[in-house]
Structure 1
Amino acid sequence: MFLARKILPRLKSLLNEKQILVLTGMRRVGKTTLIKHLFNDLTTKNKIYYSFEDTLTRKKFSDDNYENLKRMLEGEGITFTEKAYIFIDEIQFLPNITSVIKYFYDEYDVKFVVTGSSSYYLKNHFTESLSGRKFVVELYPLTFNEFLVFKGEQREENVPFSKKVDLNLEIYEGKYKGLYEEYMKYGGFPDVVLNPSIDIKQEILKDIINSYFQIDVTTIADFDDIGKLRDLLIILTQRVGQKINISNISNVLKINRAKVYEYLELLKSTYVIHTVSQHSSADNRISADDKFYFSDTGIANVLSEVAAGSIFENSVFMNLVYDYDLTYYQTKSGGEIDFVLNKKLGIEVKETASAQDLLNLGKRAISASLDEYYIVTRNYSPIEKTIFAWDL
């Protein structure tokens, strides 16, 4: 049974546009399921689907002669006298495919829908040649609302923050808290969420990590020491939600600072980690002032034991990153607002909120010129302006 993701309506609307539709995100996050659904949903017969994980399929597209490729596609049922749809899964396995896509995009009425597991690949092989010809959509692990859908639960979405406060009743705490604890521990990869076995959940997560190192990293990058990259990930599990101390990591791993930045950029561009910049910063590059989070709490937990407060904050990040432009705010004295949403709304994450937490947040929100502010919590508190994490 197909379970819809919240991004599906956007993908359907972009399917009607001429531009190439690129769906990118970490391995096993659900990209293949979504584009297969889009493919099957098309009423036209002038369509074809390829997976580049298959060696023989990749070989079909290795010919540099575009006329030969055209004849191959025609032999497989594609007609170029009318609009055609070509779906390609995991394009990063064949770097020269971008020139093929560009040729058919420019010469014929072809809609390409492709997936890739890395913005690193897109940046290095897909950007210049297809500038202005593509829409790139990022897919993340499930939000908690999507997690509930996969668990057979339905509830109202898009509730304003001011209304979410009203849901923070003590008797309401138990309704979703148990499910949220599962979400925090095992994350939001669809296969993990759908499997009822704890042992199998953990095995799937381990397989995702192993596949990342064995397939994704070796396919898209030329790193001579994958062990250092794995060590870096384990170090990061102990620093979730903190600023990235490049010098310290360099000393611990015994590699130079430039290599640390290179590794961090790879982890970011392959969607293993995400960074959150300061409220005043507009620089998209990784900097020492960036805080970082894992794309999935399950991945972090299976790599190493993560502090409860850190994994909770990471889970809140997972629920906000889909819908908001996220930054964080820091005062001159070092006080922080964990997340600033669209430069307007402040979110402080506390497992249990106190009156002092609310007072401090209010002062910082005024300093940051924010319109609204709330505390997101894990445990019931009578403090006003508090929202349960599962109500985000």
Structure 2
Amino acid sequence: MKKIKKNDFFYFDLEKEDFLNLCNNGVEEIIKYIKGKKTNNNSENKTFIFIDEIQYLNNPTSLLKLFYDHYKNNFKLIVSGSSSFAIKSKFKDSLVGRIIDLEIFGLSFKEFLDFKGLKYDLASDSKLINSELKNIYLEYALYGFYPQVVLTDNLELKEIYLKNIIEKYIYKDIRDLAKVKDLEKFNNLIKLLASQSGELVNINELANTLNIARQTIEQYLFILENTYIIKLIRPFHKNIRNELSKMPKIYFEDTGILNLLRNKKLNNEMDGNTFKNSIYTYLRREFNIN
């Protein structure tokens, strides 16, 4: 793989207002900004632009289309977003043939080891290695797969990072996206779902327990699934009608988030539900379970 020089790479985080305003001002303003920052504008190398949280743009489709149609020989764009629901609502079919969609998951256990700088043969049958890996896997499963959480060795800081994700992303951004009116019931739903991880989900039971309309529960589940918080897995059946009518099982996409929602404070013990959920994330990542 060809190494990209620092001068040829630009990162725009659209959660930062100045970058959001820049990108909303259009292609020409972005190019002008890049030329002003580059130390060598005569380079024949392609410039790589990484735009994070693309869903915040007013018109992301127009921006990407203009870059591709008029500047594809000079620029390559890599864009990401944390909400497939918001992305799908803003992106139009006019990008067909111009983009490649990639689904990015949390760190695998192998990637976790790489981030930690740990070298192990995962296929080894050594009892010593397996014993060490069990303890390492415990941290992986308890604290989850977010890179920022993995990279710190401070357990209190890990918990703070996870709490920030829950408070700012799940309880705020997703809540706003779903246009939630009753915040307490929405938060209680998330906690109730966490307590049922790995189990069947009965929507009518959730509606009765929380005193929320079934249609509202379905809307919340749809939002939570499309913002990569949960995943509903339906049983396989040869008859598609039977498959769709059966109750799904629920899993969380990150076990750190799951554990904090369930326990309020993380401990060093892994129960069966956490382990089962970590196996789900492996299968989801490796075999693209939908």
Written as runs of structure 1 = structure 2, the 5 A alignment for 1:123-272 is 123-156=88-121, 167=125, 173-213=130-170, 216-217=173-174, 220-272=177-229
Percent of matched pairs sharing the same residue: 33
Task: Provide the rounded CA distance (Å) in 2 between the counterparts of 1:67 and 1:315.
Answer: 45
Q: CA deviation at 1:271?
A: 0.7
1:35-46 equivalent positions in 2, closer than 5 A: 41-43=3-5, 45-46=7-8
2:264 maps to 1:302: no
Deviations 1:260-306 (A, max 9, x none): 111111111111112223223779x9875321211111111111239
Q: Secondary structure at the match of 2:69?
A: helix
Over residues 33-53 of structure 1, what are the superposed CA-to-partner deviations in whole Å (9 max), with x where a residue is unaligned?
xxxxxxxx4138455332212
Give the superposition deviation at 1:154: 1.6
Cα distance in structure 2, aligned partners of 1:108 and 1:198: 46
Aligned partner of 2:267 in structure 1 is none
Distance 1:288 1:227, change over 3 A: farther
Query: For residues 99-126 of structure 1, what are the alpha-carbon distances to aligned partners after superposition, in whole Å with 9 as ceiling and x for unaligned?
Result: 1111221222231111211111221112
* Equivalent position to 1:323, from 283, 286, 290: 286
Question: Aligned pairs, how many?
Answer: 279
User: How far off its partner does 1:74 sit?
Assistant: 5.0
Residues 186 and 43 from structure 1, CA distance in 2 versus in 1: closer, same or farther, beyond 3 angstroms? closer
The residue type paired with residue 114 of structure 1 is V
Residues 221 and 101 of structure 1: CA distance in aligned 2, closer, same or farther (over 3 Å): farther
The CA distance in 2 between the partners of 1:116 and 1:287, in whole Å, is: 31
Residue-by-residue CA offset, 1:176-219 (whole Å, 9 max, x unaligned) = 22222222222222222232232222112111111113653256
CA contact (8 A) 2:60 2:91 kept: no
**Partners of 1:86 and 1:111 within 8 A in 2:** yes
Q: Does structure 1 conserve the Cα–Cα contact (< 8 Å) formed by 2:54 and 2:87?
A: no
AA in 1 matched with 2:222: E
Shift in CA distance, 133/227, structure 1 to aligned 2, threshold 3 Å: farther
Give me the whole-angstrom Cα distance separating, in 2, the residues matched to 1:124 and 1:212: 19
What does 1:1-392 correspond to in 2, within 5 Å?
Answer: 41-43=3-5, 45-63=7-25, 83-109=46-72, 110-156=75-121, 167=125, 173-213=130-170, 216-217=173-174, 220-280=177-237, 288-305=246-263, 308-326=271-289
Contact 1:243–1:288 at 8 Å: present in 2 too? no
Asked if the contact 1:119/1:269 (under 8 Å) is kept, the reply is: yes
Distance 1:265 1:91 in 2: 20
Structure-2 residue corresponding to 1:362: none
SS class of match (1:95): coil
Shift of 1:320: 2.3
Q: Whole-Å Cα distance in 1 between the matches of residues 128 and 245 of structure 2?
A: 43
Q: Higher strand fraction: Structure 1 or Structure 2?
A: 1
Cα distance in structure 1, aligned partners of 2:180 and 2:98: 31
TM-score w.r.t. the length of structure 2 is 0.81
Identify which range, 285-294 or 141-150, moves more after superposition.
285-294
Structure 1 residue 150, shift from structure 2 partner? 2.7
Report the secondary structure of 2:225's partner residue: helix
- Please report the RMSD computed on the Cα atoms of aligned residues, expressed in angstroms: 3.3
Q: Distance in 2 between matches of 1:46 and 1:143?
A: 29
146-155 vs 253-262, which moves further: 146-155
Q: Residue 309 and residue 100 in structure 1: after superposition, are their counterparts in 2 closer, same or farther (change >3 A)?
A: same
Which runs of no fewer than 5 residues in structure 1 stay unpaired? Answer: 1-11, 17-40, 328-392
Which structure shows the higher helix fraction?
2
Length-normalised TM-score, structure 1: 0.62
Residue 76 of structure 1 and its aligned partner are, at CA, apart by: 5.2
Q: Cα 1:42–1:258, aligned 2, differ >3 Å: closer, same or farther?
A: same
Q: Which runs of 5+ in 2 are unaligned?
A: 265-269
